[in-house]
């Protein structure tokens, strides 16, 4: 199984800040890497697929980069609605494992 | 538009078999490349991918749970069914179904989830 490790596990930031979340895969996953946002009590919402492609309807302040084993999700200027949990997921091979999540909180 | 919705029991007893149904609309599971997956999330914990069924009836299971899981589809009803045998309290979680689609597949549409509690 491919282990996905996110850092940090939690993060405090202010509105307007630039934030970066990192995801590392235990072995190469190419660009088979997706990012999701989840708010309390809700289903996850796809933000980024194939490492860097922005899902339709997602604000352009979200961006993704990386390939192989190291990936990043960047929010260029935090908005109040961005305070949530974020998960990476590899879709390279079964099981399509998720990272442990990063909780983004208001400072 | 694409929608998915999970249904099933909110409470099951230990050792029982859980049966969950995902009713979907807005896409067809006969379309090449289309897949539906199940994912779960214990309270306060991370997401865990469980199983996948494809347009061609291929089935893939989590390696750690494959002996307990069965996934199936009913095209005529636009349903995907997941069964999980021998339920345990550690299986208490919100269970989601989601469409899994694309050349670099992603879970692009999700159901709202259903909380299943395992307790005697």
pLDDT at A107: 86
Contact B49 A55 (CB under 8 A): no
Q: What is the pLDDT of residues A7-34, one digit of tens each?
A: 999 999 999 999 999 999 999 999 999 9
* Chain B residues within an 8 Å CB radius of A43: 96, 98, 110-113
Burial B32-63 (b: 16+ CB within 10 A, else e): eebbbbbbbbeeeebbbbbbbbbbeeeebbbe
Q: Which residues of B touch A (CB under 8 A)?
A: 37, 46-49, 52, 60-64, 96, 98, 100, 102-108, 110-113
Contact A46 B108 (CB under 8 A): yes
Cβ neighbours of residue B109 under 8 Å, at least 6 residues apart? B2, B3, B4, B26, B98, B99
Q: What is the pLDDT of residues B37-87, one digit of tens each?
A: 999 999 999 999 999 999 999 999 999 999 999 999 999 999 999 999 999
Cβ neighbours of residue A71 under 8 Å, at least 6 residues apart? A22, A23, A24, A25, A33, A51, A64, A65, A88
Pairing outcome for strands B11-12 and B114-118: parallel
The answer on pLDDT for B104 being more than 90 is no
């Amino acid at each position: 199984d491919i282990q996905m490790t996110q850092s940090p596990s939690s993060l405090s930031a202010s509105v307007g800040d630039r934030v970066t979340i990192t995801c590392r895969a235990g072995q190469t996953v190419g660009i088979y890497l997706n990012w999701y946002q989840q708010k309390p009590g809700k289903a996850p919402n796809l933000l980024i697929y194939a490492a860097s492609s922005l899902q339709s309807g997602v604000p352009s302040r979200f961006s993704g980069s990386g390939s192989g084993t190291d990936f990043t999700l960047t929010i260029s200027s935090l908005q109040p609605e961005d305070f949530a949990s974020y998960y990476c997921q590899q879709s390279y091979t079964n099981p399509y494992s998720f990272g442990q999540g990063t909780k983004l909180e208001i400072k | 538009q694409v929608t998915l919705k999970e249904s099933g029991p909110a409470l099951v007893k230990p050792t029982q078999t859980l049966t969950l149904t995902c009713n979907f609309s807005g896409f067809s599971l006969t379309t090449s490349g289309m897949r539906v997956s199940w994912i779960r999330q214990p309270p306060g914990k991370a997401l865990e991918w469980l199983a996948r069924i494809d347009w061609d009836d291929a089935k893939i299971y989590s390696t750690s749970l494959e002996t307990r899981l069965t996934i199936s589809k009913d095209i005529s009803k636009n349903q995907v069914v997941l069964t999980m045998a021998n339920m345990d309290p550690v299986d208490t979680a919100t269970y989601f179904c989601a469409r899994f689609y694309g050349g670099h597949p992603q879970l692009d549409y999700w159901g709202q989830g259903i909380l299943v509690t395992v307790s005697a």
